[in-house]
Structures are given as structure tokens and as C-alpha cells.
């Protein structure tokens, strides 16, 4: 079963002024092709942007509980609520070490936090249908990747913190690669 994704074809990142200022302060070179170079790491732009609302395992579990197609059921649940997905300009560089990556290579991912007002109600409806609580992944859009073109899966907030911490400890540059705090005046 595929994951339930909301395609975001107009998600134009890192054009947000706060993102641009932050990348410049980081010493990142944002070329015309949108490839980013941060501390010796070349991050390629994702060919498409999306927000994941239910991963493949959850969709497969849901398929066993609904009559009809699980994706159609999820689409109806999503459309019944607030479907806004708002960019924040808040970026985090994440690193998954080679020993934690199933493909054997380390991965780097640049994500932008998103505000998704309808996500809590969507997840509550999904939980009611499944009869259990689900993890609350951080709402984010992966904008750039290195090492693994799909990015790094973030099913739980603690993994987000772990991978952000790994990026901070990687010491690829003199700058600390920590989760990026909001910039004022954005």
C-alpha cells in the first residue's frame, strides 16, 4: 500500500525570506539549480514536495478495517477538515548515520516545518477507525536530500530530535548543524 501524501507542487523552497537569510548565515551556497552546499555536503532538491499524513504501514493497517479503498477513505477524512498546509521558513538539517541507515550510507535531509491546522483532527479520526493511538510525527516537508533521495523517514518526533542531534554532532563545518531556530523579522 502506498503512503497517504498531500502533493505540494507549489512548495517553492527555500524562497521564504527567513530560510534564505538562514542559509546565507550558514554559509550555504544556493545555486540557480537549487542545489545547496552546506559544510561540504551537497544537498539536491527533491523532485517533488509532499506532506505525509499516513505512512505505508498505517495505510495497510487501515485497509483491513474499511470497506473500499483506504486511500479514498483517508482523502475523505482529510477533505472534511482544515486542509491548509502553511510554510514556516523554519529549517532543520537532519543526519542519519550510516550504521542506522538500512542502505548502508548516511543520509542528510533538509526539512521545513509546516503548520497543518487540520492534522490533529485528521489523526483523531484515523485513530478512531484503527482503535489505537498513533505517533505524532512533526509536520514537515523535505526540500533537499543527500545520500538517500527519498529523504529520512520521520514517523516520530523523537526520531526528528535524534537525527537533528546527529547533524549537530557531525561537525562537518565550523558552524553547528543544529535544528534551526526561528528568525525574527521574517
With respect to residue 73, please indicate whether it lies within any of the assigned structural domains: yes
How many domains in the chain? 1
Per the document, the length of the chain is: 186
pLDDT tens per residue across span 26-68? 666 554 447 887 777 788 888 888 888 998 899 999 999 999 9
Distance CA 166, CA 163 (A): 5
Cα-Cα-Cα-Cα dihedral sign, residues 124, 130, 133, 135 = negative
Distance CA 6, CA 111 (A): 16
Please determine, for residue 186, whether its predicted confidence score (pLDDT) is greater than 60.
Answer: no
What pLDDT, on a 0 to 100 scale, did the predictor assign at position 72? Answer: 96
With respect to residue 178, please indicate whether it lies within any of the assigned structural domains: no
Please determine, for residue 165, whether its predicted confidence score (pLDDT) is greater than 80.
Answer: no
Half-sphere exposure of 162 (CA within 13 A, CB side): 11
With respect to residue 44, please indicate whether it lies within any of the assigned structural domains: yes
With respect to residue 105, please indicate whether it lies within any of the assigned structural domains: yes
Phi, psi angle pair for 150, to nearest 5°: -80, -15
What number of other Cβ atoms are within 10 A of residue 164's Cβ?
19
With respect to residue 181, please indicate whether it lies within any of the assigned structural domains: no
- In sequence order, the β-bridge partners of residue 141 are 112
Which domain range does residue 80 map to? 4-169
pLDDT tens per residue across span 75-131? 999 999 999 998 877 777 777 665 555 555 567 888 888 889 999 999 999 999 999
pTM: 0.74
Amino acid at each position: 500500500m502506498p503512503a497517504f501524501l498531500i502533493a505540494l507542487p507549489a512548495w517553492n523552497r527555500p524562497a521564504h525570506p527567513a530560510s534564505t537569510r538562514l542559509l546565507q548565515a550558514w554559509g550555504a551556497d544556493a545555486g540557480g539549480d537549487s542545489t545547496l552546499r552546506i559544510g561540504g555536503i551537497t544537498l539536491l532538491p527533491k523532485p517533488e514536495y509532499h506532506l505525509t499524513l499516513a505512512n505505508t504501514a498505517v495505510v495497510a493497517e487501515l485497509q483491513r478495517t474499511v470497506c473500499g479503498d483506504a486511500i479514498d477513505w483517508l482523502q475523505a477524512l482529510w477533505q472534511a477538515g482544515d486542509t491548509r498546509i502553511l510554510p514556516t521558513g523554519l529549517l532543520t538539517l537532519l543526519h542519519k548515520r550510516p550504521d542506522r541507515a538500512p542502505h548502508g550510507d548516511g543520509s542528510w535531509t533538509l526539512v521545513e516545518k509546516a503548520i497543518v491546522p487540520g492534522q490533529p483532527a485528521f489523526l483523531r479520526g484515523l485513530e478512531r477507525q484503527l482503535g489505537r493511538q498513533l505517533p505524532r510525527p512533526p509536520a514537515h516537508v523535505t526540500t533537499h536530500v543527500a545520500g538517500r533521495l527519498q529523504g529520512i523517514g520521520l514517523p516520530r518526533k523523537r526520531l526528528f530530535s535524534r537525527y537533528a542531534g546527529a547533524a549537530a554532532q557531525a561537525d562537518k563545518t565550523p558552524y553547528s548543524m543544529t535544528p534551526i531556530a526561528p528568525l525574527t523579522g521574517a
